[in-house]
Copies of this chain bind each other. A is one copy, B any other.
Amino acid sequence: MSHEPESSLTPFFTPTGIVVVGASHNPTKLGFGLARNLALSGYAGAVHFVNPKGGRLFERPIYPHIADIPDPVDLAVLLIPAPFIPQTLVQCGERGIRAAIIASGGFRETGEEGAKLEAESLRIARSYGIRLLGPNCIGILDTNLPLDTTFLPPPAPPPGDVAFLSHSGAIGAAVIDWARGQGFGISRLVSLGNQADVQETELLAPVAADPYTRVITLYLEGVSDGRQFVQEASRVTREKPIIALKVGRFESGQKAVASHTGALAGQESAFDAAFRRAGVIRATISEELFDWARALAWCPLPKGRNVAILTNAGGPGVTAADALEANGLRMAQFQPATLDSLRETLPPFASLHNPVDMLASASPQQYADCLQIVLADPGIDSALVILVPPPMYSTGGVAKAIIPIIYAAEKPVMVALMGERMIHEALEHFRAAHVPEYRFPERAASALAVLARRAEFLASPPEEPVTLTDVDYEAVQAILASSGSAAALTDAYFLPQEALTQIMTAYGIPVPAPQLARSAAEAAALAEQMDYPVALKIASPDISHKSDVGGILLNLADAESVMQGVERMVTAVRAAKPQAHIEGVHVQPMILEGQELIMGAVQDPQFGPVVMFGAGGVEVEGVKDVAFALAPLPLKEAHYLLAQTWAGRKLDGYRHIPAGDKTAVLDMLIRLGQLAADFPQLAEIEINPVRVLPDGQGAWALDVRGKVRNEE
């Protein structure tokens, strides 16, 4: 467990002395609550109060001015009307305080005037080197230090091992109350408020460094800097798990886009991709955040996905088995020895196979024995114990019997306690023993699945993005510069086809680049440098539908056929369109038949370059068989994109569809990601379709579109 390195944030978490500016005698004021919480929280450092009215509060003097406070003091908590904040920050700065929590509201969240006040406050803070938390937040709670700078009514949450960082103060308050009732404790709670200065990303490491914190939960309404978040979180998640609930999906709304990739990529896909890259576990609903946190805080990690279910009732066992499968876990197959032991332990009509139905008569001792038996089976990675209030025994008795076995186990065990009042005694035992319990098997199964994901994440070492050196950065830079100047003064423009072909080629993405021959002999010479068969197309600005006038010839297998073909084609075209200007003939290798798919990249406003991969064609937006990853891509992320989509899985071959060249697809994805990462001005780029040839024969970018946004 790492220790917190000294930083400008240190006074927020381990202050030596705190001043509450706005402490109040009036019990109906928040300034009273704040003073009370700080005075009574058990905080060991100095606590000072400031209020121009003076007097005494909680056995301390109230100083009229900040300048009067004696040492030590390194953290100020400000709960005064917003207009007084700037001058108070000046006083803090003069007094040498370098950290302040602004609990007051009345800033950016209230409109333009408030935003100005916030900017002014930040300016002053920066000028004194003061770090700010808030404004408009409920502050910091540390149950182990302890420290409580909130104004929330008592009781404070019980000490625990789950940290909570929140963009919403109200949810923080609700979570404290909820934790009390749900039987888990909070280690640290930080309410971020408007984030004028300190934001969520900077807090990840200090919160993770807290030795009491075993899991970090986040309530996010966004992130301040996408890439920085990914970088910080990637480091932290190797040490401690992070679970995030990201809200505000409905606000993402509509946007003007130029490609399928643009239409399909959105804030939420970028968040998904970013969280995955950073190893952050994303909760989709509030309940999951703490269902999962308890499991991660209290359980050892499983070695695999095979689960044993023990139950005293058939129905819930079946429900649990369904839920395990729905969560990507597997019903373990028991070894013969396990079945033998269960048979010796249980009555004749018990069901020995997974889920093990020990029958309604199951005693605490049978629960304990069977749990021990299944945990000893090397093919079992975790256990889910279901307890319906038994007719003959108390649920508390069962809890007491199995808790020692759960303690001793190196495999995670969760409990589904079905009922409410009759399970109360068991519930208290399990909570005290830090065994995660859930009312329904489905919630237990979802928590078990998160443990498995966490174990797999830790088992898979971090991978840096692939950086290919055989790309020509300067060439693309030059192309974009010249096409930019050509595109006059528009903010955004589409790249011409020729520029796109050059860009693809510079980054090693194969495009069928037709080469111009001005004679039959030249055509044959060009063809000799390509792989046969080749195709010929008439090169004329005056002919749009080439095939109508005999202007396309396919599948020419040797130089002889090419020469004859050119003669024939020119004759035919001249006959059909006597007035057309013929520049020559385009020669290109034939692109063989193969699977088709789409890949693209966009620049996400929060997370930068994002790569999309999936089933292409015009129907991509309807079928939505696509996946996203942050660019540039580590190899495993490229593999993930293939594994996640039908278009990608199909590359292994399917029924009569032959396997495609996966290596070439992975290579193209990595090159496209590198391109998008190298050139942020490439707002959208899309290859649709990519034609994938059979294994070993490569892949081609058949059609490319690209849009550039001039940097502002």
Contact = CB atoms under 8 A, between A and B. Distances in A.
Contact of A349 (B110, B169, B389): B110
A705 to B, nearest CB: 14
Contacts of A434: none
Contacts of A664: none
Given A349-B109, A646-B622, A654-B618, A249 B325 contact: yes
A245 B618 CA distance: 39
B287 A440 contact: yes
Interface in A245-285: 245, 247-251, 285
A349 B422 CA distance: 47
A287 B170 CA distance: 26
B221 A321 contact: no
Nearest to A325: B250
A656 interface: yes
A660 interface: no
Nearest to A417: B174
Report the copy number of this chain in the oligomer. 2
B248 A167 contact: no
Contacts of A286: 319, 440-442
Interface in A282-316: 285-287, 312-316
Given A178-B418, A650-B619, A248 B391 contact: no
A166 B247 contact: no
Contact of A318 (B110, B251, B316, B319): B251
A175 to B, nearest CB: 8
Contacts of A440: 285-287
A250 B331 contact: yes
A250 B322 contact: yes
Nearest to A315: B168
A420 B178 contact: yes
Interface residues of A, number: 81
Given A168-B314, A315-B168, A619-B646, A174 B389 contact: yes
A319 B166 CA distance: 13
Interface string A218-246: 01010000000000000000000000010
A171 interface: yes
Nearest to A174: B418
A708 interface: no
Contacts of A650: 619, 622
A423 interface: yes
A177 B419 contact: yes
Interface string A68-109: 000000000000000000000000000000000000011001
Contacts of A181: 419-421
Contact of A421 (B177, B324, B391, B419): B177
A315 B151 contact: no
Nearest to A646: B622
A151 B173 CA distance: 43
B654 A622 contact: yes
A605 interface: no
Given A168-B313, A285-B323, A421-B177, A619 B657 contact: yes
A419 B174 contact: yes
Q: Which of A106, A168, A180 has the most CB of B within 10 A?
A: A168
23 contacts: A30-B391, A168-B318, A169-B315, A170-B315, A171-B313, A171-B388, A174-B316, A174-B389, A177-B389, A177-B419, A177-B422, A181-B419, A221-B318, A245-B319, A247-B319, A247-B322, A249-B326, A250-B331, A285-B323, A285-B440, A287-B442, A619-B654, A622-B649
